[in-house]
Structure 1
Amino acid sequence: MKLCLLGPEGTFSEMAARKWSRDADLIFMDDMESVAIAVEEGACDEGILPIENSLEGPVGAVMGLLLDISSPIIGEVILPIKQCLMSRGSLENIRIIVSHPQALGQCRHYIHEHFPGAEVRTTGSTSHAARLAQEFPEMAAIGCSESAQKYGLKVLKEGIQDHPNNYTRFIVLGRKEAAPTGHDKTSLAVYLDRDRPGALYDFLGEFAHRQINMTRIESRPSKKLLGDYWFFIDVEGHRDDALLREAISALKDKCTTLKVLGSYPRADIA
């Protein structure tokens, strides 16, 4: 089974992929869009992408991709994130800190407190940051300890994220909907396009009066005009469950567009 993910090797994405499937043939891609396209076009069987972090919130680029593809979400992985500061040099040498924007955001207070004068640069992935840090002793990367091992760097400080309870949720894209398990989640994308008081309240009420628990709601600009949004909603249950099927049917009359992104087994925080 071919499982594609954001490369290069030595990232949290690779750790999530191994947690999802230890036996999969991992295919590393240059960007997140390429992961989604590889699954959509059949070049890979599955793809894994980060969708939200407990400190930094949603990954907007992935939410946008979900609107453009037909591949369903078939699973999720929740990964505890422990960020490390790594370098060829010592703490006293550090003048430049590099990493992915999400990782830098998760360590914002640490950087400000311990390296107030450092230049902060963004990279496409935490692994790419580690690869860059190989070249200069005054440069440090932020990422997972696996990156330090792979690229021959010293871990100068472990667990530098600003809050200890740091988790990233990854979604798995596939070709075929997952079957109900009795412990499922369904993800929806909704575009209301009706500027009236209570529109979102009425929409969410279809879940409330059926006792369907909503676990997440996020908004994303529609790119049509300012103040116009898509809503991304996660609820407990499978789209084939009678109550949720009834709710989705009722919701179609309350919005312009409703896209079921997938029903899949819920992952628990270990």
Structure 2
Amino acid sequence: MTDAAAARRTYSYLGPAGTFTETALGQVPEAWGQQWRPVRNVGEALADVVAGRSDAAMIAIENSVDGGVSTAQDALATMPGLRIVGEYLVPVEFVLVGRPGTKLEDVSLVSAHPVAYAQCLQWLTSTLPAHAHVPASSNVASAVGLIDGTSDADAAIAPPGILEHHELELLASDIGDNPNAVTRFVLVSRTVAAPPPTGADKTSLIAELPDDHPGALLEMLEQFATRGINLSLLASRPIGDALGRYRFVIDADGHIENERMADALLGLRRFSPKVVFLGSYPRADRALVHYPERYSDDVFVEARDWLRGLLSGEPQE
């Protein structure tokens, strides 16, 4: 094996070719020209990373229309040894495709994944009012079924990237009902040190409440609020061991190397019986994180120096 082949990296993603996840992976410069490994589900992608079959995996974590991707959140909460190293945003766009030669007026039976179908329902009702829907297992499977003969549908709803991989007739584009829909993806590797802070960073973690009592969630959130840290995501997921027991998926603005974030994580660790640090990484939108001056790093450093002086008996000014 040549040195170049030995150094080739492998990236797992939800396949087959043409998915939104593949589009997200295409935004990672270090993945260009490397080995891309299509898998069937999020668990398989992350298991590839844990087992060393892949160097990293691209997974969907949140959608602006449907909210958090529960399977991804639960997998990150329960699979040790993983770290988020980057995030990427992909606009959720859909096209209607058919077999070569198909015309839009010929379409009466449409194949689509149920989520995609729901996000295009207004367009379908207006453009094809007499259509019927055939559920598909995925956005790509809906289109592939037209080609391999496993689907009786006249057309399929699919991501635009499908046209780069299969000979299909484009019947309509931009058929999604929400032009601002976007899916957030994260690139997950084995546990590594966080990249240096950029000033436009995000920290992801999962925490559990110590017990069920009035104000427990407020106490957890105060770990961030009292240090001037904004939360861009707070989602609850059942732990699964009993009714009423939840873990919380948190995205906080800032980096673990920021004094205010480090102090918040220390407070959270003292409060919560279980904290899973998922990573600090650059925000996909590269928006700088703003915070009040009283929460700057210098303020936290000065306070620590002041306390050290008290403990050492230094004269106070």
Matches within 5 A, 1:82-161: 82-88=93-99, 89-113=102-126, 114-115=128-129, 117-123=131-137, 125-134=138-147, 135=149, 136=151, 138-161=153-176
RCO comparison, higher one (Cα < 8 Å, 6+): 1
Maintained 8 Å contact 1:56/1:106 = no
Deviations 1:35-66 (A, max 9, x none): 10011111111110011111121111111110
Structure with the larger helix share:
2
Call closer, same or farther: CA 1:200–1:103 in 2, change over 3 Å: same
Aligned to 1:13: 21
Secondary structure (helix, strand or coil) at the match of 1:155 reads: strand
Maintained 8 Å contact 2:112/2:133 = no
Unaligned runs of 5+ in 2: 1-8, 288-317
Aligned to 1:59: 69
Code of the residue aligned with 1:68 in structure 2: it is T
Aligned to 2:84: 73
Aligned to 1:35: 45
Give, in whole Å, the separation in 2 of the partners of 1:33 and 1:96: 33
Call closer, same or farther: CA 1:42–1:52 in 2, change over 3 Å: same
Call closer, same or farther: CA 1:105–1:63 in 2, change over 3 Å: farther
Report the alpha carbon displacement of residue 29 of structure 1 after superposing the two structures with TM.
Answer: 1.2
Maintained 8 Å contact 2:42/2:72 = yes
TM-score normalized with structure 2 length: 0.79
Give, in whole Å, the separation in 1 of the partners of 2:286 and 2:145: 32
**Moved segments of 4+, more than 6 Å:** none
CA RMSD, Structure 1 to Structure 2 (Å): 2.1
Aligned to 1:212: 229
Secondary structure (helix, strand or coil) at the match of 2:270 reads: coil
Aligned to 2:181: 166
Deviations 1:138-195 (A, max 9, x none): 3322222221342211121111111110111100001223322222111011111521
Unaligned runs of 5+ in 1: none
TM-score normalized with structure 1 length: 0.91
Maintained 8 Å contact 2:204/2:249 = yes
Give, in whole Å, the separation in 2 of the partners of 1:137 and 1:210: 58
Give, in whole Å, the separation in 2 of the partners of 1:202 and 1:100: 41
Call closer, same or farther: CA 1:92–1:116 in 2, change over 3 Å: same
Q: How many residues align?
A: 269
- Give the share of equivalent positions with the same residue, in percent: 33
Aligned to 2:262: 245
Aligned to 2:5: none
Code of the residue aligned with 2:241 in structure 1: it is K
Aligned to 2:304: none
Give, in whole Å, the separation in 2 of the partners of 1:219 and 1:105: 24
Larger radius of gyration: 2
Secondary structure (helix, strand or coil) at the match of 2:237 reads: strand
Give, in whole Å, the separation in 2 of the partners of 1:11 and 1:57: 19
